[in-house]
Amino acid sequence: MKLFNQNDVDRRALADATIAIIGYGSQGRAHADNLKDSGFNVIVGARAGGRGATRAAEFGHTVMEPADAAARADLIALLVPDMAQQAVYEQAIAPGLQAGNTLLFAHGFSILYGRVTPPADVDVVMIAPKAPGDLVRREFERGRGVPCLLAVEQDASGKAQARALAYADGLGGAHAGVLETTFREETETDLFGEQAVLCGGVSELVCKGFETLVEAGYQPEVAYFECLHELKLIVDLLQEGGLSKMHDFISETAKFGDFVSGPRVVDERSKDNMRAVLKDIQDGTFAREWILENQAGLPRYKAMWRQDLEHPIEKTGEGLRARMAWLDPTHNQRKAAS
């Protein structure tokens, strides 16, 4: 493992560079704002009249159409959603790319799966903060940062890594550490984590646990507390100190139940399914399926999303969360009333 910190950063690598942030969504906004506050010359590429352009201008950024921003920049950060990157690159970035430019991504999907193919005379790098954009910004404002992953796919200038490190430092990432990886490793592990554990795995585990208790005759409100609400308490312990801290803070009864029942729920068959998920990511099956789904207008995606929102755990949760003043009472009361 190679881990960079502030001592490894040469801020001169981007000292005279113009950085174009293409897209002012969750990550784009955090990147642009942090880099500007770090003293870099930042411009934002966003559609005139759009929400992103309006918000960027309110922060004090120079805002222009994506093609104009890309043509003026030395480093172009392509931070629009994955499925939009190919069109934005081809229409707004590729025509103005010059030899020696740096093209930066925060996720490797478009490069790994051939959606974007830059010319050989530009640097292609990745800086991927390991947090949502809102947290990237909040930690920066506190004088800290979140860890970042760094990858160099193409080093045409001989300075690609130095430029990427300077960019990461501008985000605040060098405070927490910048871990070297590859586009392939970042993309495949990120997709796997989302699908098998963080999003797909957790949401299915929660829903199946809730269904099991309700089908056995228990109150849905009690099942909600046990299978969803208290999950945050455990996740916080895991994030703060791993398995050891979780074990230190749960009861002896919970700990014994963990040891004897956890492997019954998530067993070798579950792991075989995880291996199958990973294989689909590695061989491009998932990427092809997701690309085709977008091209078809997202019919399955929308149906599955609607199915999730109609699950009984959502109705139960809306009513309970509306009474939890420490959350977002306005949001939750509005949801419960709708």
Same domain flag for 176 and 217: no
Annotated binding site for Mg(2+): 190, 194, 226, 230
337 within some domain: no
Same domain flag for 113 and 258: no
Residue numbers in the chain where pLDDT is lower than 70: 329-338
Same domain flag for 57 and 139: yes
- Candidates 47, 33, 55, 41; CA nearest to 11 is 41
338 within some domain: no
Annotated binding site for NADP(+): 24-27, 47, 133
- In sequence order, the 6+-apart residues with CB closer than 8 A to the CB of 76 are 19, 20, 22, 69, 70, 93, 97, 101, 102, 103, 104
Same domain flag for 135 and 53: yes
Amino acid residing at 176: A
Q: Fill in the DSSP letter of residue 196.
A: I
Kindly report, residue by residue over 95-115, the tens digit of the pLDDT: 999 999 999 999 999 999 999
Q: Which domain CATH number covers 44?
A: 3.40.50.720
306 burial (CB, 10 Å; 0-12 / 13-18 / 19+) is: exposed
Same domain flag for 177 and 203: no
- Cα separation, 154 vs 152, in Å, equals 6
Residue with structure tokens 């046990």?
A: 226
Task: Give catalytic residue positions.
Answer: 107
Which two tokens mark 169? 């430092």
| Boundary residue ending a domain (126, 146, 181) | 181
pTM value is 0.92
252 within some domain: yes
pLDDT at 43: 98
85 within some domain: yes
186 within some domain: no
| Boundary residue ending a domain (118, 150, 181) | 181
Kindly report, residue by residue over 53-79, the tens digit of the pLDDT: 999 999 999 999 999 999 999 999 999
| Boundary residue ending a domain (181, 210, 230) | 181
271 within some domain: no
Same domain flag for 214 and 260: yes
Q: Tell me if 171 sits within 8 A of 35, measured CB to CB.
A: yes
Same domain flag for 41 and 147: yes
Q: Tell me if 36 sits within 8 A of 58, measured CB to CB.
A: no
pLDDT at 333: 47
Annotated binding site for substrate: 251
Same domain flag for 171 and 307: no
Same domain flag for 203 and 165: no
157 within some domain: yes
List phi, psi (to 5°) of 284: 90, 0
Same domain flag for 143 and 262: no
Structural domains of the chain, count: 2
288 within some domain: no
DSSP string, 81-110: -HHHHHHHIIIIIGGG--TT-EEEESSSHH
- Candidates 202, 170, 209; CA nearest to 77 is 170
pLDDT at 330: 55
- Cα separation, 54 vs 47, in Å, equals 9
Same domain flag for 168 and 207: no
List phi, psi (to 5°) of 126: -135, 135
Same domain flag for 57 and 134: yes
- Domain assignment of residue 158, given as a range: 3-181
